[in-house]
Structure 1
């Protein structure tokens, strides 16, 4: 795997110098300041390439911009309303401009209104480290008593609703305000948190859009853009829902292996692929990540390696970000399947055999606790995760090479 690192641009408190010192070989980035539906211009793309290429002292970083995450899909495209056709035309032009700059992998998602969603951005662990967390009771309390969404109580088991009533009654004003800000933090394209009225208005636009309609709109989007990506040599890869279950009455359509199989069959081109995020998919108890990699690996173009730990049974559920080797996903088995897929591709002569991976999320530890960087993206916590993953990769690669040299058969 090519070891990469997500960078949010010049305002990211984790610098290009830090990424170099972490030993990453490439960068995952995006033009977050460009509104959804607008064209990413050659000048803006070139500027980001240049920012990645240099260290603070002006020396070469040796890093390249390898993956776009994300080229956002506008709400208009997702709902097929207003200027959605113009937005698709802009998306295609952005792909052309990215291809001209050398970019060959573009990650996107099709989550409506909310991007990733949490109730805590710095939940304290017993070690003193902090992590992101989704507490179902807190989220239901937000939905019922802060957002006050019509019909919200019908979406949850009675026991959860009763627990949320008690939780909300015990919340002080500071925690209620923090919860409101945290849930709204995942809204795409927003630097500032949206107001509750803004969120209610966005949710209302999906009142008549169910999972089948949203899935059909995703397929229609892919039918337009994937042939263009194919002509340009770009591989598109959809990120799964985070978390992988319905929230606030919104449909979720990229949460399981069956969801991915559907869109790959609907637009059956190699460029229509997967961002395998072990953290997002791992929250769903039915998702077997090593098995998914073994079965769908041919279309995996980009990998996020992180781990989550479910705290409650069933779906929806509470969960938190675990250590990279310590959650519900068997990371060793998953990495082994990834390495086997790479060996298979290399034997076939595929140019894309070396799949880019980044250590996703991480605990805030040591100086991360003072740095207060982008939530979920600490410097030292991700470095720790990358080191752990790198160790597993190195050990498995050596074992697999030895087995091959001895003429054995890999399991």
Structure 2
């Protein structure tokens, strides 16, 4: 398992020096400043590689840009509208440039509008640590009474509508503004720049797009880009929906093992693969993550290892980001399944046997609490998670453990 770390570029409060001291082996990054749909040029790719390869004092970091997360898929491609054909052509050109720079893995998502959704970005735990949280009632209150989305009540049970109404009535103006900002944080733009009317306009563009239509658009996209990826030695891996259930009336198509199997079988090319995120998929009680690794592991090209604690086990219930070994996913069983897949790949002579993973998200602890970093990406919280994951990897790989099997 190749240990990587997500880096948002020079403005990231976690520096190259920090990553080097964390002793990670590679970096996961993207050109966030390049507009969606535009070509990633060799010059911009090379600049990011140089930034990753250099410590503050100018010494070589020895770190490499291992995984792109993400090369964005435009809303035009997802809807097959506007300039979608040009955007696919540009995506393929960017992929060629990335491969020419030595990068082999691209993580992307096909979520309409939302990259992720939480109602709290700094939910306080009994320990004093903070984490991101999705509160189902708060989200319903946002949808029903802040966004006031047409037909929203039809998507909730009468009990949830009533409870959300009571919750909203008790909210201060400050909490209402905070809730709206937290939800909009996962939408294009920012909470300060986007009004509720702006959000409604984004949503309206998906009014006539069903889950079946969106899935076909994903298959059409993959039918265009996967053959080229296979030809040039690039691996593509789709990230799951976060959270993996319907929100705001938008279609969700990458939330379960069956979803992934359908897309893999529709475009059955090895380059067309999976980003197996144990946090996103783990927000559904019916997803078996170690089993998914066992059954679909041959097409897993990248891993996000994190955990969530389900506060309610029904679909669409509340959850929060747990410490890496404390949530509902059995991380020991998960890593055992990953190591087993790596052994299968070694036996088959696959060059891609060493699966890249990153410790995803984490709780804000110690100095993270005052650092003001990217929500979900605390330096110390992630390092704690990586240390825990390393412990499992080391124990399961030890000769004593292998001898006992």
TM-score range, shorter chain: over 0.9
1:197-252: CA deviations, max 9, x gaps? 11100000000001000000000000000011111100000000000000000000
Verify the 8 A CA contact 1:181 1:193 in the aligned structure 2.
no
1:338 corresponding residue in structure 2? 338
The CA deviation at 1:315 is: 1.3
Report the equivalent of 2:232: 232
1:94 maps to 94
Partners in 2 of 1:189 and 1:60 — Cα distance?
35
User: Quick one: distance in 2 between partners of 1:399 and 1:239?
Assistant: 34
- Structure 1 contact 276–304 (Cα < 8 Å) conserved: yes
The Cα of 1:23 is off from its aligned counterpart by 1.3
Q: Distance between the aligned counterparts of 2:189 and 2:233, measured in 1?
A: 27
* SS of residue matched to 1:186: coil
In the alignment, the residues of structure 2 paired with residue 273 and residue 42 of structure 1 have an alpha-carbon distance, to the nearest angstrom, of 25
Counterpart Cα distance in 1 of 2:364 and 2:40: 33
Q: Which runs of 5+ in 2 are unaligned?
A: none
1:283 is the counterpart of 2:278: no
Change (3 A) 1:276 1:326: same
SS in 2 for 1:67: strand
- Quick check: 2:303–2:358 contact (8 Å CA) kept in 1? yes
1:244 aligns with 2:234: no
Other-structure match for 1:265: 265
* Paired residues, number: 405
CA shift for structure 1 position 313: 3.0
2: CA distance, partners of 1:154 / 1:191: 26
Residue aligning to 1:326:
326
What residue number does 1:126 align with?
Answer: 126
1:277–1:400 Cα change, 3 Å: farther
Which deviates the most, 321-330 or 342-351?
Answer: 342-351
Shift of the 263–104 alpha-carbon distance from structure 1 to 2, 3 Å rule, reads same
- 1:383 maps to 383
Structure 2 Cα separation of the partners of residues 38 and 26 of structure 1 = 26
State yes or no: 1:309 paired with 2:316: no
Task: Give the structure 1 partner of residue 210 of structure 2.
Answer: 210
Shift of 1:347: 1.4
Q: Over residues 320-359 of structure 1, what are the superposed CA-to-partner deviations in whole Å (9 max), with x where a residue is unaligned? A: 0001000000000000000010011111111100000000
Q: What is the CA–CA distance in structure 1 between the aligned matches of 2:293 and 2:238, rounded to whole Å?
A: 15
- TM-score where L is the length of structure 2: 0.98
1:360 corresponds to which residue? 360
Over 3 Å counting, the alpha-carbon distance change for 1:193 and 1:309 in structure 2 is farther
* Aligned mates of 1:389, 1:113 — CA distance in 2: 32
C-alpha deviation, 1:402, in angstroms = 3.5
Match of 1:50 in 2: 50
Are residue 162 (structure 1) and residue 162 (structure 2) matched? yes
**Which structure 1 residue ranges, 5 or more long, are not aligned?**
none
Secondary structure at the residue paired with 1:4?
strand
Q: CA deviation at 1:98?
A: 0.3
Is the alpha carbon distance of 1:217 and 1:189 closer, same or farther for their aligned partners in structure 2, counting shifts above 3 Å? farther
- Partners in 2 of 1:397 and 1:102 — Cα distance? 29
Name the CA distance, whole Å, in 1 between partners of 2:306 and 2:402.
Answer: 28
Report 1:62-81 matches (<5 A): 62-81=62-81
Q: In angstroms, what is the RMSD of aligned CA positions?
A: 1.2
